[in-house]
Chain A
Amino acid sequence: MKARRFKFPLFGKGILFLGLLVFSVCQPGVSSATDVNVDCDIQTGGCQKQINARTVHLEILPKPVKAMKDLTFQLKISGDSLLEAPFIDLGMPGMKMGPNRVILKKKDAAIYEGQGVIVRCKSGKTIWQATVVLPEIGSVVFTFDVIY
């Protein structure tokens, strides 16, 4: 009797193909809007959060905060002057958009300012995150809605 040969490479390719189709259609890494909490109403004003004992106030201007426009990012940080300038990393929750860092420069004793752009995503999702990093102190994430 002729033994049936189990064609693993074909089977494996089939599984990979199906997996790829599902991967492609579902667009993994793209979180649904419902599982991301917007915790900052940046369109009406600035937002405030704590990093250790410091209060960080984030403001983005001009209003309304729109994608694909030159924006000014401003941080007000309480406490002693920082040894290193803070920076902001912009990104979308659950979506790899590439490194988009806003370099901040000291404007005042407690105020840092820099220019940046929030880009538009083809998916149409408008929720963005600004990760404020205070070197050697810590980081905090602001999640907000942007107008496309």
Chain B
Amino acid sequence: MLSTSSIYILFFTTGVTIGFGHCIGMCGPIVISLSLNLKGAPSVWPHLYYNGGRTLTYGLLGAVVGGMASFTRFAESIDGLQKGAMVSAGVIIVLMGLAMTGWVRTGVIFRAAPPVGTFISGIFKRLLQKKKHPLMYLPLGLLLGLLPCGPVYTALIAAARSGMEADTTLGGVLSGAGLMLCFGLGTIPALFLVSRLTDLRWLRYREKVYQVGAVLMMAVGMYFIWNGVRF
């Protein structure tokens, strides 16, 4: 049996290896889209907020699954939520792409869109505006942390097991949250590296790349929407 501290270290290192071996491939397009959306603005804080939001969601999922002490019951209950997160991620990426092309003005997009609540549409608007506040990437990370992902499920199975082994429900909640936070923190280096490499401020003809990138972003967004619908 592993000691408490070594299991947290194991989850962190698993996150690091999964980050480089899986997340770069699966979440890389999202990170590249976020980088392109920044259009040369400083990208360190936005990406830290995005990764922080994602990790917080993992911690929250870990707390719930640890408290429930069952992965399958938990997975059934969030099936619809994940589907929604995937479609939303796709819509956000398509809108970011549209706003980047300049073909459609942000205001026009929101006048045409159905009212989805001032708070959410406010976040959308701020993400699509030319001058973005880095903190706007936190709610985006919180939402994208809900995306269905095999390695996150695998980590949640282990978090559910820790919940089963805990003496109390609170113990299960805390151990599940702790394990998933460690896992999430471990995935940050890989995705942060991707964000640093796709920071194009050094590129002379970056405007052209942004135009191509915007079209690619829309394609990636459509892929997410399609995947979310069939999920």
Binary B-proximity of A61-80 (CB < 8 A = 1, otherwise 0): 00000001110000000000
Q: Is the CB of B151 within 8 A of A98?
A: yes
Binds A, one of B21-29, B97-105, B134-142, B169-177: B21-29
Tell me, in angstroms, the Cα distance from A28 to B148 when the chains sit together. 19
Q: Known interface pairs A13-B202, A24-B32. Does A96 touch B22 (Cβ–Cβ under 8 Å)?
A: yes
Binds A, one of B44-52, B55-63, B116-124, B152-160: B152-160
Q: Is the CB of A17 within 8 A of B150?
A: no
Q: In the complex, how many residues of chain B place their beta carbon closer than 8 angstroms to a beta carbon of chain A?
A: 34
**A42 at the binding interface (Cβ < 8 Å):** no
Most buried by B among A16, A28, A95, A98: A98
Q: Known interface pairs A68-B75, A96-B17. Does A121 touch B197 (Cβ–Cβ under 8 Å)?
A: no
How many contacts between A and B, using CB within 8 angstroms? 85
**A117 at the binding interface (Cβ < 8 Å):** yes
Residues of chain A within 8 A (CB-CB) of B158 are 99
Tell me, in angstroms, the Cα distance from A26 to B22 when the chains sit together. 12
Q: Is the CB of A24 within 8 A of B202?
A: no
- Looking at chain A, what size class is its interface with the partner chain? 20 to 34
**B91 at the binding interface (Cβ < 8 Å):** no
**B198 at the binding interface (Cβ < 8 Å):** yes
A-B contact pairs, 18 of them (CB 8 A): A10-B202, A13-B197, A14-B203, A17-B197, A17-B200, A20-B24, A20-B28, A20-B197, A23-B24, A29-B21, A68-B72, A69-B72, A96-B151, A97-B22, A99-B158, A117-B153, A123-B26, A124-B230
Q: Which 5 A-B pairs have the closest CB atoms?
A: A24-B28, A98-B154, A96-B21, A119-B153, A27-B25
Which A residues contact B (CB, under 8 angstroms)? 10, 13-14, 16-17, 20-21, 23-30, 68-70, 92, 95-100, 117, 119-124
Which B residues contact A (CB, under 8 angstroms)? 14, 17-18, 21-22, 24-26, 28-29, 32, 71-72, 75-76, 147-151, 153-155, 157-158, 194, 197-198, 200, 202-203, 227, 230-231
